[in-house]
Structure formats: structure tokens, C-alpha cells
Amino acid sequence: MRDKNSKKLLNWDFKKQLQTIRPIRNVKIKQCDYLHFLFCDNSQLDEFIEKIPKNNDKYIAKIAGKRCSDLDGLFSEFKRAFKFPDYFGYNWAAFDECLNDLDWISADSYLLVIEDMDKILVNDSANFESFLKYLFNTALEWINGRNYDDFLTKKTPFDIYFHSNEKSSSDIVKRIFETSVSTTRPIDEKMIDLKILEKYLDLEISKDELGELSQGFAPVKYHGSIEVHKEHLIHLLEKYLKKEISDNDFVDWVNFIWFSEWYTYFEEDSDLIASVMNELEEIDEEGKELTVEKAELYINVLKNNIEV
């Protein structure tokens, strides 16, 4: 069993969950679905925004974090950036209502950039958590579309960019993901702990940390955890087929993600993962070699949710 200081074995591009890209020099973006982090100085942020492809159907709103040190400042800045109506009530209910409406803006997609995220509500943890909750829920409502009796909206992209300089990057990521907003979430959300996930992608993660990642994804229905482990198994099998990982290391990593007591609580297609894991375990215990045919079968099973 490998610990968190074990040698790095693989480094694949897990595009569905996390990417690191540099659209302009010295600008680093960490991306996770609709939520993105930009770590650069303010002039580079302006350059980044300038390079975003623009059209009449995309609405770009920029929030100055330095003006949002308290709740009144935050509400005022969002009112300005999103052109909230004059009747905006400067409270969370009004914030939620207006940000989910935006009927006065003609757009097919929204892009929100918050400059100096580290300066948002710096001495108000409770309202900072409320801010994240309403913001993330709003993004998901736009992305998933609404089908209420009196309020229908189509699926609409709503991307959020949190900016800070490099010096403050670790602090702001930690502050965001230490809130309860990131650890308890509906089944269809994609919030994750970026730092733990990075270690997972590089296979430099302890069993305890992997368990924390799994539970943190979806503590109620485990859907996010299932998808992570499924992707991991698929990648391991694909690397094995390409001979980019040895037989011994493959067995080590299969064992590494094997939590028998945890799989007991899987739902939906989780039995699929357990079935593949059981067969892999039998192959290991009997001293057999995983054949190319079997590896391809397991990949097909996991990708297409079919019986083993």
C-alpha cells in the first residue's frame, strides 16, 4: 500500500474534473466545470478578460473584490455588474432572486469574473459561506435549466472565475473549500477539493485522503465518488493496456482504491465497479495475468454501464 509520499507513477490529463492551462503568459487557471481559479496579477487579469471571445450573446460581469469587504459593498457591486433593478433589496433573498432572473439582460451565456476574491467579506465567514451557496446554486440553476410552472429557462452556461494573485492563491482555495458549501452538495453538483484531487490525479494520495475525497464528493448518494472511482479504474486499465504501468503497480493501485466496507453503500451503477473490482481481485489472488481481452472488456463495461 502506498502512502502520500509514494513515488509518482502516472500523470494523466483528467479533463472532466480538472485542468491547468495558460491562455496568456504567467496566468494560471485551475478549472473545475463551471468554477475556475485565476492566479495572476491584476493587469494580467485584464489582459485575460480582453482575450475572451466576445459576442452579443455573452454577458461578462466583473466584480471588484476590494469593494466587497462588507455585505453592503458586495450587494452594491453585484447590482452594478449585473444591472439589478432599482428595487433590489440588498439582502440574500433579493440577491438570489435577481441573479436567477436577469431578464433585463439579453444573453445566451454568462461569465462572472471576481477580481481579488481574497478581499471578499474578509472578516465575515458566515456571510462568505452564504455568498458561495447562493452563487454556486445560481450557476447550477442556469447550467441545468429550470422547469418550474411559472418560470422556464433553457440550459445556459454560467461560468465563475475567482481571481487572486499567486501569493494569496492557496489561502483563497483553502477558504472556499473549507466551507460546508463544498462538502455537502446535491447529487448533480461538481464541487471538489482541488488540492486533494491534484494529489489523486498524480497518484500521490494516502488511503485516508482518498476516503476523504470519496466522501466529500457526495456524502448522501455517493454519485460523485462513484464517477471518480470509475474514471480512475478506466484510466488504470487503459494505462495497463498501453504498458505504461507494470503489473505490480497496477495491482497496487487497484488495491489502493479498494474499500470493501465503502462499496457496500454504493447505489445505482456502483455494483458495476464492485463487480469489476471483485474480478480483478480474483485474478490477483489466483496469480493469473490480466489479459488484454479482459482489460478491454472491463473498460467497455465501465464506460457503457453494462453487466460484466
261 lies in some domain = yes
Q: What is the pLDDT of residues 195-233, one digit of tens each?
A: 555 555 555 555 566 555 554 443 333 455 566 667 777
241 lies in some domain = yes
Element (H, E) at 281: helix 270-285
Q: Is the pTM of this model over 0.75?
A: no
Residue 60: pLDDT over 70? yes
Q: What is the pLDDT of residues 98-147, one digit of tens each?
A: 999 999 999 999 999 999 999 999 999 999 989 998 898 888 888 888 76
Question: Which of 29-33, 41-45, 137-141 has the weakest average pLDDT?
Answer: 29-33
**Same-domain pairing of 32 and 147:** yes
**Same-domain pairing of 26 and 173:** yes
DSSP SS3 for 11: coil
**CA–CA distance, 287 with 217 (Å, rounded to integer):** 34
At 66, which CATH number? Answer: 3.30.370.10
In this structure, the strands spanning 28-32 and 19-21 are antiparallel
**Same-domain pairing of 254 and 121:** no
- % pLDDT > 70, the chain: 63
**Same-domain pairing of 210 and 234:** yes
Whole domain around residue 259: which residue ranges?
A: 199-304
**Same-domain pairing of 187 and 41:** yes
**Same-domain pairing of 158 and 214:** no
Higher pLDDT, 236 or 83: 83
Q: What is the pLDDT of residue 104?
A: 94
**CA–CA distance, 48 with 32 (Å, rounded to integer):** 18
101 lies in some domain = yes
**Same-domain pairing of 97 and 208:** no
Domain boundary among 143, 170, 191: 191
Q: What is the pLDDT of residue 176?
A: 80
3 lies in some domain = no
- Looking at the 3D structure of the chain, how many domains does it have? 2
Domain boundary among 159, 191, 223: 191
**CA–CA distance, 122 with 160 (Å, rounded to integer):** 19
**Same-domain pairing of 122 and 168:** yes
14 lies in some domain = no
